[in-house]
Chains A and B, each alone.
Chain A
Amino acid sequence: MESIRDKVAIVGMGCTKFGERWDMGVEDLLVEAAYEAFQDAGIEPKEIQAAWLGTVFSGMTALTMSPLGLQYIPMTRVENMCATGTEALRAASYAVAAGICDVALAIGVEKLKDSGQTGVKGPAIIGDNPDGTSSIGSGYSAPASFAYLGTRYFHQYNLDPDEGKRLLAEIAVKNHYNGSLNPKAHFQNRLTVEQVVKAPIVAWPLGLFDCCGVSDGAAAAIVTRADMAKNFRADPVYLKGLAVTVGARQGSMRQDYDYVHIEENVLAARRVYAEAGISDPRKEISLAEVHDCFTCHELILYEDLGFSPRGRAKEDIDAGTFTLAGELPINTDGGLKCFGHPLGASGLRMMYEVYKQLQGKAGPRQVKNPRLGLTHNLGGNAGNGIASCVVVGSERSR
């Protein structure tokens, strides 16, 4: 089995402003993201040989993509819940690595705010048939499905509720600070720990500011063969590893699952580190964009991704390890929490930030001398979840 390592490079990226884009349809978001990526790569749209669209709810391939104006090239819509954007990148990268095409577009979009509703629609809701045609079960909310982790984590590691809430709040405060330095982020406001702790409860222990934004947005990447990358630009970003894992109902049906980690995350990380040749992720990774749909998930991810020892994320939060100025900055662009979460776009939005950071173009958020960056997504929950991890680097090692 071969590795994707150093076979594919990203040579152009685009990302819209995320938020409540009342003035923009799906087609506007796609054009905005794609044309920024074309310009960034210095190519014409006609140079794209194949495209993959990532979207969960915003349409089907031909209906959604035809307004982009690409002329009779093969296109496919892909879906992998909240990792959908990364799935589009995976498909485009694998096609390039296979030599089927030399220049491919991965683009993700979600238009969540036209629904007139405040949440994300089913079938993501637990208890529905997977195809969304029937709801027999309880129908608890997405925040509740992650709150199970927070409640159990507090219990397992003897955090009293006030202390636990404070820890989660520190994560929200960090991500909002980072997002406030980013004009493309959905929210531009900074928060205090007190504001986060005192916000109305959505699903205990998660309050309003522990939950990510429901946003509109799109992001795009142009990928090409690593050996061709320098033809496009001097500072391409190379794929070092890309791993996806899907659960088999272990978490929701087996008593040996502990609700203080997510096995899908752990295995995706382990595989991507092996593929990228990383043995000490905390030391070797310069920055990470992780799936902070809810603050308690970012807390668990510090441990799942091997950045903090089990049960000891608190020490790193208190030490400021994951802040912009810290040892391993996480969610430097604001994360899902502050940047927003248009499902199909998020994985590519994360990559947009890592790409800019590796090129030294992240402005006030710039991390010093980054070498390797990681993006991570989780769709669903433990046991019926999909985790993805991608590692990219600024240098090609062979």
Chain B
Amino acid sequence: MAGITSIGAYIPMYRLSGEEIGNMWRAKGTTGGKAVAGYDEDSVTMAVAAALDCMKASDKGPDALYFATTTAPYKEKQHAAVIAGVIDLDRRCHTADFTNSLRAGTTAMKSAVDAVKSGSAGRVLLAASDCRMGAPGGRFEQILGDGAAAIMIGSAGVIADIQGSYSLFNDFTDEWRTGNDAFVRSGEGRFVDEAGYVPTMEEAISGVLKSCSLKPGDCSKVVFAASDSRRHAHLAKSLGFDKAQVQDHLLADIGHTGTPAALMMLVAALEEAAPGDTILFANYGDGADAFVFRVTEEIGRIRGKPRMGDRLAKKRSIGYGTYLRWRDLLPFEASSLPERAEPSLAARWREGRTVSALYGVKCRKCGTPQLHPIGQRIRVCVACQSKDEFDAYKFSDKTGKLFTYAIDHLQPTKNPPGLNGVVDFDGGGRLICELTDYDLDKVAIGMPVAMTFRKLSQGKGIVNYFWKATPLTQQGRE
């Protein structure tokens, strides 16, 4: 048996409404909105959040990590390795990036299933994430949103068993970017539908149903991606599915999230699924991948975990000006404060375990957990002054409380003013760090916080990632 053993997703909390975009360009906006990655988020940080969400529901870590995206921050450098370090996987974990197609996520899923079936991996974690942009004033600006999904494929504790799959490639140019394009390009709408999307998806979906000896009416849920709701409804109808069978496409809430879009829908479908359900899952991009899953009794394990509805509910509107600034779409006046040095590659390497998984130390003599400001490691215990008597101690998974804070109008940030705080970790240890995804009016001493992996700054072509604190509500992250 091989199939899905755990699921996770991440939706950034910021929303840009179609109305706001429409007002900017004096055009009719969409009725919904799109999820916008925060100024300090990118495909890597969102994939980390989804992967950690997925790992929460899993007893064991994976033997392989596949990262799927079309918006990788680096052209040359593996992101799966970055993510594997951050989520603290074993060094022998097999890592790979799947990219350049909106189908990269399902291609990775097929490879993951093959790896598990062949026995080369016990568990494969697949994280898909995208942060695509449409040119200002255009159709894609309104419909492209940001998000991430993560799915663990394994052979033990399977919640959705894979019954069959069907894939085909199609060298068809409908949406694309060259290396120099910041924004998605596309072919003309009806051509894309009639010559590409509809026949390709029909072939894959019919193919997988036939291989599993199923008819459209046998499916409890049909989960497939489309770049807009009209296209989505049209395909469902032409394949003979009832509205009740069709999984919500999330487009009105968060926009089209690209590579993770279909996987996020699959996560939402599984969160609502019952044992014995048959789920048809298909994804499009340079061809199509289609799968049939049978939900098992193990689905009970994910009951009570966060649902897509909870993730969608944590949202805050932003204005168009904020969007321009966060996505670097306009040059802004430089700070008159002194420039800081670029991050040193050697210093970042020395601090590797702290930068990636927020490792500090715990003193073997006095038991004090301690985390240093990066740039200066701990050789002498801050509590008892013992030298080099430490065990590694991970802080990234610890919650904490805000001891004091400063709202900093001088800090160079794309989201002024900066908020910095002194975080006291539950179980010991203190860190002075930035906060993110907060409501400034609700920030208070004693506020519970969790840690989240973000971008701090970018210079010399290096994305300088580190951890920030974020308010924790009783349900989870605010």
Interface, chain A (partner B; CB < 8 A): 115, 117-123, 125-130, 132-141, 143-145, 147-149, 151-152, 155, 200-204, 248-250, 252-255, 257, 259
Given contacts A128-B375, A259-B422, contact A136 B351 (CB under 8 A): yes
Pairwise interchain contact A140-B420, C-beta atoms closer than 8 A: yes
Does B190 sit at the interface, judged by CB under 8 A?
no
Q: Is B411 an interface residue (CB 8 A)?
A: yes
Which A residues touch B456, using CB under 8 A?
Answer: 136-139
**Inside 8 A of A248's CB, which chain B residues have their CB?**
380, 382, 385
- Asked whether, in the complex, the Cβ of B373 is within 8 Å of the Cβ of A126, the reply is yes
Q: Which residue of B lies closest to A254 (CB)?
A: B382
**List of B residues within 8 angstroms of A147 by Cβ:** 406-408
The reply to whether B370 and A253 contact each other, CB–CB distance below 8 Å, is yes
Please tell me the size bucket of the interface on B.
35 or more
A203 contacts B336, C-beta separation under 8 Å: no
CA–CA, A209 and B351, complex, Å: 38
Cross-interface CB contact of B343 among A120, A123, A134, A201, cutoff 8 Å: A134
Q: Which residues of A contact B407 (CB under 8 A)?
A: 144, 147, 201, 203-204
Q: Are A254 and B403 in contact (CB under 8 A)?
A: no
Contact among B342, B373, B411, B412 for A134, CB-based, below 8 A: B342
Please, which residues of chain A bring their CB within 8 A of the CB of B380?
248
The reply to whether A136 and B355 contact each other, CB–CB distance below 8 Å, is: yes
Query: Are the C-beta atoms of A129 and B347 separated by less than 8 Å?
Result: yes
User: Is residue B230 contacting chain A, with contact meaning CB distance below 8 A?
Assistant: no
Beta-carbon contacts under 8 Å, B414-440 to A: 417-418, 420, 422, 424, 428-430, 432-434
Complex interface: chain A residues within 8 A of B410 (CB) = 119, 141, 143-144, 202-203
Whole-angstrom distance between the Cβ of A209 and the nearest chain B Cβ: 14
| A136 adjacent to B420 (CB under 8 Å) | no
Q: A254-B383, A255-B430 are in contact. Are A137 and B418 (CB under 8 A)?
A: no
A259 to B336, CA, bound (A): 30
Q: In the complex the two chains form, what is the Cα distance from A133 to B265 in whole Å? A: 46
Closest 7 CB pairs of A and B: A134-B344, A121-B338, A147-B406, A141-B410, A144-B408, A144-B406, A152-B404
B376 interface contact, C-beta 8 A: yes
Q: Which of B338, B343, B385, B429 contacts A136 (CB 8 A)?
A: B343
A-B contact pairs, 27 of them (CB 8 A): A118-B337, A119-B337, A119-B338, A120-B338, A126-B432, A127-B375, A128-B375, A129-B375, A130-B375, A134-B375, A136-B343, A136-B456, A136-B464, A138-B434, A138-B456, A139-B456, A140-B408, A140-B432, A141-B408, A141-B410, A143-B410, A144-B406, A147-B408, A201-B417, A249-B382, A253-B430, A257-B430
Contact check, B341 vs A141: say whether CB atoms are below 8 A apart. no
Bound Cα distance from A143 to B374, whole angstroms: 20
Complexed CA–CA distance, A134 and B340 (Å): 8
Looking at the assembled complex, report how far the CB atom of A28 sits from the nearest CB atom of chain B, in whole angstroms.
23
Q: Which chain B residues lie closer than 8 Å to A259 at the CB level? A: 403-404, 422
Query: Given A132, A138, A252, which contacts B430 in the complex, CB threshold below 8 Å?
Result: A252
Could you say which residues of chain B place their CB within 8 Å of the CB of A155? 404, 445
